[in-house]
C-alpha cells in the first residue's frame, strides 16, 4: 500500500476520517446516517436547500431513516448538511449518490453525476477517496468520472483514490437495509478497493471486493436486469393465463414450492421506481456502442411497458359488464406509489394507467395513504383538463361511488375486504383480494362469470 493510502486507512480505522455524501436522497441520506453512526464526522452535500435544512434541523424525509436518529447525530455534531461543495476541502472520503435517469430517447442522463463530480473536482485534494454509488453503465468510473477528477492535475491511484460501489438499498424493506446488505466494491487499483472496503466495513456488515469498477458497475446492472427480465416473463405468463383462463397467482405460488431452481416473480401493472425500468437501458445503451443488441432487455421493456394498456383494457371490460364506457365513468385508483408501503412515485405505472384512463374520458380519482397529493405534472393528466389531485379518503362511500376501483399498488394498510364488499367492480392487478368474487377482475386470472349470457348474433 502507498504511504498516502496507508495514512487514509489509518484515519478510517481510527474514525478520524471525515466522510462526505453527495446527494441526500433515498440512497444518500441512509448512507450518511450509517457513516455518522459508525463514528465518522459526516457532511451531506445536496443542491436542494430543503433537504439540507431538514437534515440540519434533525428531521428525516426518507421513511426508512428514523427522525430521532438524524436528530441525535446532528445534536452530537456528527452529521450536518450543506449546499456548498466547498465542504469537500475538509473531507477525506466522498460518496456520490445522485440520480442517473434516462433521457426521453432512453439514453443515460449523466448530467447529475457530471454536476456532482465537477463540484468535487474543484476542491479535490491529495489523499482523498472518491466513491461513485449511482447506478450507471460499465465504464463510467474510469471513462467519465476519472478524467473529470484528474482535470485539475491530481492523478487517480497516485494522489487520490477512486472506486465504484453500487447501492442495493430496497426502500420499505423491513429486513434488509444499508447496514446488512453486502456491499460490492471495485476500485481502480488495489489501494482504492482496500480503502473503500475499509470505509464501508465500519458501517456495513459484509464487503465483497471485485477486481475493477467496471465489474462492480456491471454487477448492479445484472441484478436489476435480472429483475426486469423476470418481471417481464411473469407479465407475459399473466397475459397468457388471462387468455387461457388460468389463475397466474395460483400458478406462481405453487411453482414457488419447488425448493430449488425456481424463484417467484409476480406480474403487475408495469414496472416502476427509479431503478428497474431504467437501469437495464444503461446497459443496452453501452452494449449498443459495441454493436451488441441486448434482446432480453428490449423484449422485457416492451412487455412491461405494455402492461398499463392491458390494465386499461380490463377496466373497459369490467365497465362493459355494467353497460358503461370508460368515457364518463368514475375510476378510483388505489395506490400510486410504485410499490407497496412506500411514498415513491417515480416511474410508477399507476401514473401511466391514470393518464390513459384520463385520455379516454374517465373521471380519475385516487387514494394512497403515502401520497397525499399528485400534481398535474406528476401524472401528465392527458390532453384535456390537466389538474392536481388529492388522495381520496378510503371510505366505504368513496368505494361504492366509483364505477370501477383499480388496485395498482397493494399497500398493506388498505382494508381489501371492505374494498371488495363495497365496490361495483374491482380490477385487482396485485392479487390483493383473495378468492373469487362476482365483482373482482384479476390480472392474469379468469374473470367472474357474466350475470347474463352475452347476446347472440342473429343469423
Q: List the catalytic residues.
A: 275
166: cell is 453500487
CA distance 274 to 458: 53
Shortest Cβ 165–ligand NAD spacing (Å): 11
Shortest Cβ 154–ligand NAD spacing (Å): 20
CA distance 287 to 285: 6
Shortest Cβ 347–ligand NAD spacing (Å): 11
Nearer to ligand NAD, 92 or 217 (CB): 217
User: 319, 329 in Cβ contact below 8 A?
Assistant: yes
Shortest Cβ 168–ligand NAD spacing (Å): 6
CA distance 121 to 59: 30
CA atoms within 13 A on the CB side of 86: 3
Which residues of this chain interact with ligand NAD, rule CB under 6 A?
A: 22-28, 45-48, 51, 97-100, 112, 115-116, 119, 134-135, 167-169, 171, 274-275
Nearer to ligand NAD, 6 or 48 (CB): 48
Evaluated on CA atoms 345, 348, 352, 358, the torsion sign reads negative
| Helices then strands, each counted (H, E), the chain | 15, 15
Shortest Cβ 204–ligand NAD spacing (Å): 14
CA atoms within 13 A on the CB side of 22: 28
425 SS3 class? coil
Shortest Cβ 448–ligand NAD spacing (Å): 37
End-to-end CA distance of the chain: 88
Contacts 24+ apart (CB under 8 A), 323-327: 324/403, 325/361, 326/357, 326/360, 326/361, 326/362, 327/360, 327/361, 327/362
Q: How far is CA 26 from CA 97, 168, 213, in A?
A: 9, 11, 22
Nearer to ligand NAD, 63 or 448 (CB): 63
Nearer to ligand NAD, 28 or 349 (CB): 28
Nearer to ligand NAD, 227 or 321 (CB): 227
Nearer to ligand NAD, 98 or 311 (CB): 98
Shortest Cβ 167–ligand NAD spacing (Å): 4
What order do you get walking across the sheet with 183-187 strand by strand?
A: 79-82, 41-45, 18-22, 93-96, 129-132, 161-164, 183-187, 207-209
Helix (H) or strand (E) holding 440: strand 440-442
- C-alpha dihedral, 381 to 386 to 392 to 396, nearest 10°: -70
Nearer to ligand NAD, 78 or 168 (CB): 168
Residue nearest to ligand NAD (CB): 25
Amino acid at each position: 500500500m502507498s504511504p498516502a493510502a496507508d495514512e487514509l486507512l489509518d484515519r478510517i480505522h481510527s474514525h478520524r476520517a471525515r466522510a462526505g455524501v453527495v446527494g441526500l436522497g433515498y440512497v444518500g441520506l441512509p448512507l450518511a446516517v450509517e457513516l455518522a453512526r459508525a463514528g465518522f464526522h459526516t457532511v451531506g452535500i445536496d443542491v436542494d436547500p430543503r433537504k439540507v435544512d431538514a437534515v440540519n434541523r434533525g428531521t428525516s424525509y426518507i421513511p426508512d431513516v428514523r427522525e430521532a436518529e438524524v436528530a441525535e447525530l446532528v445534536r452530537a455534531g456528527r452529521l450536518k448538511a450543506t449546499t456548498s461543495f466547498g465542504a469537500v476541502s475538509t473531507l477525506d472520503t466522498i460518496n456520490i449518490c445522485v440520480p442517473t435517469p434516462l433521457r426521453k430517447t432512453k439514453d443515460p442522463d449523466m448530467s447529475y453525476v457530471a454536476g456532482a463530480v465537477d463540484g468535487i473536482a474543484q476542491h479535490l485534494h491529495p489523499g482523498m477517496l472518491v466513491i461513485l454509488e449511482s447506478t450507471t453503465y460499465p465504464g463510467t468510473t474510469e471513462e467519465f468520472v476519472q478524467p473529470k477528477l484528474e482535470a485539475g492535475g491530481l492523478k487517480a491511484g497516485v494522489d487520490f483514490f477512486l472506486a465504484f460501489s453500487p447501492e442495493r438499498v430496497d426502500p420499505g424493506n423491513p429486513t434488509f437495509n444499508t447496514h446488512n446488505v453486502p456491499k460490492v466494491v471495485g476500485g481502480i487499483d488495489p489501494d482504492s478497493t482496500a480503502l473503500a472496503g475499509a470505509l464501508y466495513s465500519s458501517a456495513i456488515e459484509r464487503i465483497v471486493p471485485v477486481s475493477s469498477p467496471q465489474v462492480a458497475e456491471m454487477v448492479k446492472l445484472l441484478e436489476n436486469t435480472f429483475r426486469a427480465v423476470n418481471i417481464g416473463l411473469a407479465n407475459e405468463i399473466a397475459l397468457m393465463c388471462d387468455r387461457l383462463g388460468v389463475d397466474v397467482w395460483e400458478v406462481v405460488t405453487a411453482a414457488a414450492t419447488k425448493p430449488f431452481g425456481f424463484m417467484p416473480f409476480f406480474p403487475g401493472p408495469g414496472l416502476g421506481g427509479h431503478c428497474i425500468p431504467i437501469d437495464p437501458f444503461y446497459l443496452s445503451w453501452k452494449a449498443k456502442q459495441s454493436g451488441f443488441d441486448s434482446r432480453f432487455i428490449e423484449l422485457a421493456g416492451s412487455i412491461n411497458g405494455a402492461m398499463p394498456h392491458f390494465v386499461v383494457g380490463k377496466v373497459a371490460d369490467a365497465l362493459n359488464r355494467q353497460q358503461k364506457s370508460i368515457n364518463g365513468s368514475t375510476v378510483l385508483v388505489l395506490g400510486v406509489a410504485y410499490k407497496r408501503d412506500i411514498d415513491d412515485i417515480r416511474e410508477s405505472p399507476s401514473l401511466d394507467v391514470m393518464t390513459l384512463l384520463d385520455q379516454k374520458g374517465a373521471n380519475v380519482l385516487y387514494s394512497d395513504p403515502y401520497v397525499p397529493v399528485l400534481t398535474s405534472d406528476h401524472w401528465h393528466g392527458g390532453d384535456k383538463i390537466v389538474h392536481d389531485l388529492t388522495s381520496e379518503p378510503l371510505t366505504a362511500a368513496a368505494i361504492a361511488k366509483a364505477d370501477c376501483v383499480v388496485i395498482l399498488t397493494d399497500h398493506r394498510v388498505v382494508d381489501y375486504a371492505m374494498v371488495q364488499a363495497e365496490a361495483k367492480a374491482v380490477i385487482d392487478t396485485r392479487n390483493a383480494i383473495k378468492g373469487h368474487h362476482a365483482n373482482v377482475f384479476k390480472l392474469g386470472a379468469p374473470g367472474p362469470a357474466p350475470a347474463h349470457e352475452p347476446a347472440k348474433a342473429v343469423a
